[in-house]
C-alpha cells in the first residue's frame, strides 16, 4: 500500500494539468511522462520530441553542454565551435589579456584556426547519458545499507556513482564523469554521465564595450543592448576523444550542432531554452524566504558594496589593475545587484504573502487528508530556521569578507607541520613542506593579485565585519587590535601585509632558506588565519545541528506539495543539470503607464552612448556601421539592426549562454540575463513579470562578421534564411 501511495505522489510531479506554459525547468527525460510535448506543440513547437531528446539517438541535447564551471554553451558548427555569453567567457578573455594584448578592451578575433588560443583550465562537458536510479537508492534505504538522509549526501552519492560507472559500458572511456544527484528534495534520483573535453580554445570575443555594453548599470535591466557573446572551440585527439592540450589535437567532429535562423520572429512566437540552470529554491517556506532576505542577501549587499567601491577606485587608476581585477569585479557585482533586486522583488511581488497563502492551503490539505506528517512539517522547518538565522547571518558576513574578498593568507596547517619537522630536524619533511609553501605563495601572488589592492580591501572590510558579527563570532584579531594596537585596525593590517612571511619575495625567500620555529610562531598572518579558522570551524560545526532533520523535512514538504497540486506537475528545483524550458517571445508592462517592447535595436546603443562613462562607450567602427546602415543580411525586414529580445522562459544562473531556440529547433539567440522586476523568480515564479533577456543571433553574427571581420566563422555555421 505504501509503495502504491509513493507512486501516486511521484506521478503527481509528472502528470500534466492546467499549468501556466512558461513556468518550470523541466527534466528532458520526463517530457513524455509529463505530456509536456503536447503543450509545447500547442504553443508552437514544430519538431518531434525525439529531436529534442532521445536516450537512444542523437538529438539537440547533444549540441548543448556545460561551459566552464557555471555556464551553458551550444555547438554551432560540425567542427566543435561553441557559442556562449561574453560574461561566461570573461575569465578566459581576462586570462589571455595583458596591457600589451588587451582583449578585454579591444576584443579578440581569430581569422584562422592557428590563431585560436589554448585556455588552460577551461573545459566543456556534454551529457552522455541520463539514468533513473530512484529504485536502486530506495532499495538500499529499505535494506538498511544507507539511511534516508545520507542517501541524499555527496559522499554516498559520489561512491554510488563510481560503483555504477564501474559496471557501465562507459567505464574506462576517456573523459567520462559520473554523477548521482537527488531531485525533488530526494524523492527521485538520477545518474548523469558527462563527457569532459579539456582542450577548449578561445576563438572570438567582442570588445567589452560591446560584450558588456551597459555594464553594472544595465545588469538585470530592460531595455538592454548588450551583445553578450564569445566563441570557443573544442579540440580532441585524432580519434575525437577528450585529451589535454596538444599541438596535435584537432577540432572535434561533433554529433550535433544548431542551425542558425536569420528569419527573425514576432511577439508571441514560440521559444524554448535548453541549458543548465544552477539553483532555485521554489519550495521554501515563508520563514526560509525571510532568512534568505535578511541573513544572506542583506549581508552580501553590505559587504560587496564596500568591496566593489574599492575595486572600482583602483581599477580606474591603472590599466594593469583594471585587467587584473576585471573578472573578480564582474563576478562579485553580478550577485551583489541580484541580491538587491531579489529583496526588492520579494516585497514588490508579494512573495511572502504568496508563500503564506500556500502554507494555509497546505495546512488545510493536510487536515483534510488527516496526514499528521504534513500537518507538522512547516512548523518543524520554521522552528529550525529560527534557530539558524543568526548563525547564517554571521556565516554570510564571514564568507563575504574572508573567503570571497580578502585573498592574502597563510597555510597555517602546513606551517604547523613544518614547525614539527623543524623541531625534529627531519630534512625530508622540511623540503616537502617548503615545496608546499612555494605552491601556496605562487597561488596567492599570481598575475591577477595586487598586494596593495588586497590591503585596501581588508582595511575597508574588517570594520564592517566587526560591526555586524555577533560577539561569539568575532575573530581573535579584534581583541589583539584593542590590546596590542590600541584599536588601530590599519596598523594591525599593515603589519600583516608588510611583515608576514608571505608578504613578499624577500620575506618568503629569507624564511624558506632557513625556516625557524620562532619565525613560524611570530608570523602575524599565520596567527590571523589560525584565528579565522577557529571561528569558521565553530560556525560550520553548528550548521550541522539538525541538518539531517531539516533535509528530511524538506523531502516530506516537497512530496506533500506535489501531492497537493496534482494533477498539475511541479518541476524539481534547479541543480545545474540539463533542463528544458518553453514559452513565448513577449513584451511586458512592469508598472502602470510603462510598456516594454519585446526587442531592442542598434538605435538604442547610439541613444545610450556616453563617452564619459566607460559602461556606455560605443566603438567608432560600430558607429560607422550604424551610420552607413551596413547591416548586410542581418537586418530586420524594417531595415533596423536588432540587438536583444525578451521571452517568457524560466531561467536562472547557469542558463547564461543557453541557446534560445525557435519552434523548428533553430537557434535565434543566446540567453544572458533575467529582468529586474522578477529577481524573486528563483524563489517564486511570476507568470506576468518573469522574462529572459537574450541577445539576438543576428546581432551576434553582425558583430562577428562586420566588426570582427570573421566571415570565416560565419561561413562555418549552418545559416537558415
Which residues carry out catalysis? Answer: 87, 228, 656
DSSP string, 621-690: HHHHHHHTT--GGGS-TTS--EEEEEE-----TT-TTPEEE-TTS-EEEEEEEE-GGGTTTTTS--TTT-
CA distance 275 to 25: 9
CA distance 424 to 426: 5
CA distance 378 to 716: 55
CA distance 227 to 657: 12
Q: Residue 721: is it exposed, middle or buried by C-beta count within 10 angstroms (0-12/13-18/19+)?
A: exposed
- Return the DSSP state at 571: P
CA distance 117 to 102: 14
Q: Contact 216/333 with Cβ under 8 angstroms?
A: yes
422: cell is 623543524
CA distance 452 to 314: 10
Torsion of CA 313, 319, 324, 329, to 10 degrees: 40
Q: Where are the beta strands (DSSP E) in 380-490?
A: none
Residue 255: strand, helix, or coil? coil
C-alpha distances (whole Å) from 116 to each of 201, 532, 612 are: 6, 43, 34
CA distance 124 to 367: 49
Asked if the peptide bond before residue 567 counts as cis, ω within 30 degrees of 0, the response is yes
Dihedral sign, CA of 16, 18, 19, 21? positive
Q: Contact 181/189 with Cβ under 8 angstroms?
A: yes
Residue 541: other Cβ atoms inside 10 A: 9
CA distance 504 to 445: 9
Report the DSSP beta bridge partners of residue 83.
74, 231
Buried b (16+ CB within 10 A) or exposed e, 613-642: eebbbbbeebeebbeeeebeebbeeeeebb
What values do phi and psi take at 568, rounded to 5? Answer: -70, 125
- Return the DSSP state at 503: S
First to last CA, the chain: 58
Q: Residue 544: is it exposed, middle or buried by C-beta count within 10 angstroms (0-12/13-18/19+)?
A: exposed
Q: Contact 99/320 with Cβ under 8 angstroms?
A: yes
What values do phi and psi take at 244, rounded to 5? Answer: -65, 165
Amino acid at each position: 500500500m505504501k509503495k502504491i501511495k509513493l507512486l501516486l505522489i511521484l506521478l503527481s510531479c509528472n502528470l500534466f494539468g492546467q499549468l501556466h506554459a512558461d513556468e518550470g525547468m523541466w527534466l528532458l527525460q520526463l517530457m513524455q511522462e509529463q505530456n509536456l510535448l503536447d503543450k509545447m506543440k500547442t504553443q508552437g513547437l514544430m519538431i518531434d520530441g525525439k529531436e529534442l531528446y532521445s536516450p537512444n539517438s542523437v538529438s539537440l541535447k547533444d549540441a548543448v553542454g556545460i561551459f566552464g564551471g557555471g555556464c551553458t554553451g551550444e555547438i554551432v558548427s560540425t567542427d566543435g565551435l561553441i557559442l556562449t555569453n561574453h560574461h561566461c567567457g570573461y575569465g578566459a578573455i581576462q586570462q589571455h589579456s595583458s596591457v600589451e594584448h588587451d582583449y578585454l578592451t579591444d576584443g579578440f578575433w581569430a581569422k584562422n584556426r592557428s590563431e585560436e588560443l589554448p585556455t588552460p583550465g577551461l573545459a566543456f562537458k556534454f551529457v552522455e547519458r541520463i539514468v533513473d536510479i530512484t529504485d536502486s537508492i530506495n532499495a538500499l534505504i529499505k535494506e538498511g545499507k544507507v539511511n534516508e538522509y545520507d542517501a541524499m549526501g555527496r559522499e554516498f552519492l559520489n561512491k554510488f556513482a563510481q560503483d555504477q560507472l564501474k559496471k557501465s559500458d562507459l567505464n574506462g572511456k576517456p573523459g567520462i564523469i559520473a554523477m548521482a544527484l537527488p531531485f525533488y528534495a530526494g524523492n527521485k534520483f538520477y545518474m548523469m554521465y558527462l563527457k569532459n573535453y579539456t582542450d577548449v580554445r578561445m576563438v572570438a570575443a567582442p570588445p567589452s564595450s560591446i560584450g558588456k555594453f551597459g555594464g553594472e548599470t544595465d545588469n538585470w535591466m530592460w531595455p538592454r543592448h548588450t551583445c553578450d557573446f564569445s566563441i570557443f572551440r573544442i579540440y580532441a585527439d585524432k580519434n575525437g576523444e577528450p585529451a589535454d592540450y596538444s599541438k596535435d589535437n584537432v577540432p572535434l567532429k561533433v554529433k550535433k550542432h544548431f542551425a542558425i535562423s536569420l528569419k527573425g520572429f514576432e511577439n508571441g512566437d514560440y521559444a524554448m531554452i535548453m541549458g543548465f540552470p544552477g539553483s532555485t529554491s521554489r519550495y521554501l517556506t515563508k520563514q526560509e524566504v525571510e532568512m534568505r532576505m535578511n541573513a544572506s542577501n542583506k549581508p552580501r549587499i553590505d559587504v560587496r558594496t564596500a568591496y566593489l567601491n574599492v575595486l572600482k577606485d583602483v581599477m580606474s587608476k591603472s590599466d594593469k589593475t583594471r585587467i587584473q581585477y576585471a573578472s573578480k569585479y564582474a563576478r562579485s557585482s553580478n550577485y551583489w545587484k541580484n541580491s538587491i533586486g531579489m529583496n526588492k522583488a520579494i516585497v514588490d511581488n508579494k512573495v511572502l504573502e504568496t508563500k503564506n497563502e500556500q502554507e494555509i492551503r497546505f495546512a488545510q490539505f493536510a487536515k483534510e487528508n488527516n496526514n499528521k506528517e504534513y500537518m507538522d512539517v512547516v512548523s518543524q522547518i520554521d522552528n529550525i530556521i529560527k534557530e539558524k538565522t543568526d548563525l547564517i547571518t554571521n556565516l554570510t558576513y564571514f564568507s563575504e569578507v574572508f573567503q570571497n574578498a580578502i585573498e592574502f593568507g597563510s597555510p597555517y596547517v602546513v606551517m604547523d607541520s613544518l614547525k614539527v619537522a623543524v623541531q625534529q630536524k627531519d630534512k625530508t619533511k622540511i623540503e616537502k613542506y617548503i615545496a608546499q609553501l612555494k605552491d601556496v605563495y605562487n597561488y596567492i601572488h599570481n598575475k591577477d593579485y595586487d598586494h596593495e589592492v588586497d590591503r585596501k580591501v581588508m582595511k575597508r572590510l574588517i570594520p564592517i565585519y566587526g560591526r555586524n558579527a555577533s560577539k561569539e563570532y568575532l575573530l581573535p584579531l579584534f581583541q589583539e587590535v584593542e590590546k596590542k594596537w590600541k584599536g588601530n585596525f590599519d596598523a594591525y593590517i599593515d603589519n600583516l601585509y608588510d611583515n608576514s612571511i608571505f608578504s613578499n619575495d624577500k620575506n618568503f625567500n629569507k624564511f624558506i632558506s632557513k625556516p625557524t620555529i620562532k619565525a613560524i610562531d611570530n608570523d602575524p598572518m599565520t596567527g590571523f588565519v589560525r584565528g579565522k579558522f577557529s571561528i569558521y570551524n565553530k560556525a560550520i560545526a553548528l550548521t550541522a545541528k539538525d541538518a539531517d532533520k531539516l533535509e528530511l523535512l524538506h523531502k516530506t514538504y516537497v512530496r506533500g506539495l506535489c501531492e497537493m497540486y496534482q494533477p498539475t506537475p511541479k518541476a524539481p528545483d534547479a541543480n545545474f543539470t540539463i533542463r528544458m524550458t518553453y514559452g513565448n517571445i513577449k513584451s511586458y508592462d512592469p508598472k502602470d503607464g510603462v510598456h516594454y517592447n519585446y526587442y531592442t535595436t542598434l538605435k538604442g546603443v547610439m541613444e545610450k552612448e556616453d563617452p564619459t562613462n566607460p559602461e556606455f562607450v560605443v566603438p567608432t567602427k560600430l558607429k560607422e556601421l550604424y551610420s552607413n546602415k551596413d547591416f548586410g543580411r542581418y537586418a530586420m525586414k524594417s531595415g533596423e539592426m536588432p540587438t536583444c529580445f525578451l521571452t517568457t522562459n524560466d531561467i536562472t544562473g547557469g542558463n547564461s549562454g543557453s541557446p534560445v531556440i525557435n519552434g523548428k529547433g533553430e537557434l535565434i539567440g543566446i540567453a544572458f540575463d533575467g529582468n529586474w522586476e522578477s529577481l524573486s523568480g528563483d524563489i517564486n515564479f511570476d507568470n506576468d513579470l518573469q522574462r529572459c533577456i537574450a541577445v539576438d543571433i543576428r546581432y551576434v553574427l553582425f558583430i562577428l562578421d562586420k566588426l570582427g571581420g570573421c566571415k570565416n566563422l560565419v561561413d562555418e555555421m549552418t545559416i537558415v534564411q
